Amino acid sequence: MNALVATNRNFKLAARLLGLDSKLEKSLLIPFREIKVECTLPKDDGTLATFVGFRIQHDNARGPMKGGIRYHPEVDPDEVNALAQLMTWKTAVANIPYGGAKGGIGCNPGELSKSELERLTRVFTQKIHDLIGIHADVPAPDMGTGPQTMAWILDEYSKFHGHSPAVVTGKPIDLGGSLGRDAATGRGVLFATEALLNEHGKSISGQKFVIQGFGNVGSWAAQLIHEKGGKIVAVSDITGAIKNSKGIDIPSLLKHVKQSKGVQGFPGGDSLDPNLILVEDCDILIPAALGGVINRENANEIKAKFIIEAANHPTDPEADEILSKKGVIILPDIYANSGGVTVSYFEWVQNIQGFMWDEEKVNNELKTYMTKGFKDVKGMCQTHNCDLRMGAFTLGVNRVARATVLRGWEA
């Protein structure tokens, strides 16, 4: 099931639980604006190349729209639409004053030189500069983009609007990026996991974890869980998978990954078929890679008692049903991986104030938000007698619906 179908399904279930009227329900789904632009630039060899860039701005009832920009050859409009909508609910669940957006350029960043990527980013910014802005739409990095991309957008935008560090987040520290942003999603996953385990009278220490995906989110989550005494028994990435029932030495693994660009061949563990990582024996499974990895084919084989969704929509709705029948507790993506957008919000706040925080303040504020977020989700679960996913969706949708009605926007 694709991302858009799954997101719409969850939204409709939440709207039904909340008793929203059908006109309001319909207007909440329709994006505020969809932008599509042609970006033509000279390549290094002098020939011209054309790429299509776009931005879906989903909702701005609660504040400026927020969401990533991805550079990827197959940018699927449906998926981007789903991700923009997901950002609307995610920012509402986190209780930060944003709506959702998402965008990108259909290109293969690996095939472009650094100067071509810079020209592409600047042309794209020239085309959309009057549609984004500090109080309108604040982009961030996503697949195939990073702090350098944000620096180029900031510079190009500032040529039109004066120095505006708050127009993008995920910037380099030297240009107003926030300390703690790099680890934020992984650290948020740690705080979310602690809040969930706490509810069940457990702590991180001594629990067995399996982490699928060892990119930014997976590696930070692994490092922080390891520091708290959690035992990580298996890890995978694009290169392969490794396991060690006694617990993987994460600091050594991080060194290995830095040198050999992947977990494959790590001496402190045995090789494992990456397709089997999700069904490894553990207490807590953290999918931190792609969407749709937990589906009806493998859901029955999963041995974990808890699943923490660090990736976006890693669990198919069919798998959701199978797992809930088995009594597996799933902490949904729109809460579990909201640490990144929460610290992006802190970055924006610091830029607007022109006053930067130290890392300890960033991390403490993040913990406050994640802990309160879990209580709020749990509260909705009790009100509507539903699982955590529906608790999070009803919380997010309700906040956006209330803002929409209060502003007098409902049809």
14 membership: H or E segment, kind and range: helix 3-18
Type of residue numbered 362? V
Distance CA 3, CA 313 (A): 7
pLDDT at site 79: 81
pLDDT at site 175: 97
Nearest CA to 157 out of 121, 192, 107 is that of: 121
Beta-strand pair 231-237/306-308: unpaired
Cite the beta strand spans of 267-399 per DSSP E: 270-272, 284-287, 306-308, 329-331
Distance CA 18, CA 168 (A): 34
Dihedral sign for Cα atoms in the order 279, 285, 290, 296: positive
Specify whether the CB–CB gap between 386 and 15 falls below 8 A: no
Type of residue numbered 340? G
- Partners of residue 237 on adjacent β-strands: 240
DSSP codes, 204-262: STT-EEEEE--SHHHHHHHHHHHHTT-EEEEEEETTEEEE-TT---HHHHHHHHHHHSS
Q: Is 102 a catalytic residue?
A: yes
Distance CA 400, CA 334 (A): 14
Helices 216-227 & 184-199 angle (0-180, nearest 10): 50
Burial of 360: CB neighbours in 10 Å, binned 0-12, 13-18, 19+: exposed
Type of residue numbered 108? N
Tokens of 330: 């799933």
Three-class secondary structure assignment of 184-208? HHHHHHHHHHHHHHHHCCCCCCCCE
pLDDT at site 411: 63
Type of residue numbered 119? R
pLDDT at site 203: 95
Neighbours of 174 (CB within 10 A): 8
**Secondary structure letter of residue 45 according to DSSP:** T
pLDDT at site 49: 97
The residue annotated as part of the active site, out of 12, 23, 90, 102, is 102
No. of helices (H) and no. of strands (E), the chain:
13, 12
Type of residue numbered 83? L
Residue ranges, the chain, pLDDT below 50: none
Specify whether the CB–CB gap between 168 and 345 falls below 8 A: no
% helix / strand / coil in the chain, to the nearest 5?
A: 50, 20, 35
Burial of 14: CB neighbours in 10 Å, binned 0-12, 13-18, 19+: buried
pLDDT at site 78: 82
Nearest CA to 231 out of 201, 252, 203, 206 is that of: 206
Tens of pLDDT, residues 359-387: 999 999 999 999 999 999 999 999 999 99
Nearest CA to 298 out of 325, 280, 313 is that of: 280
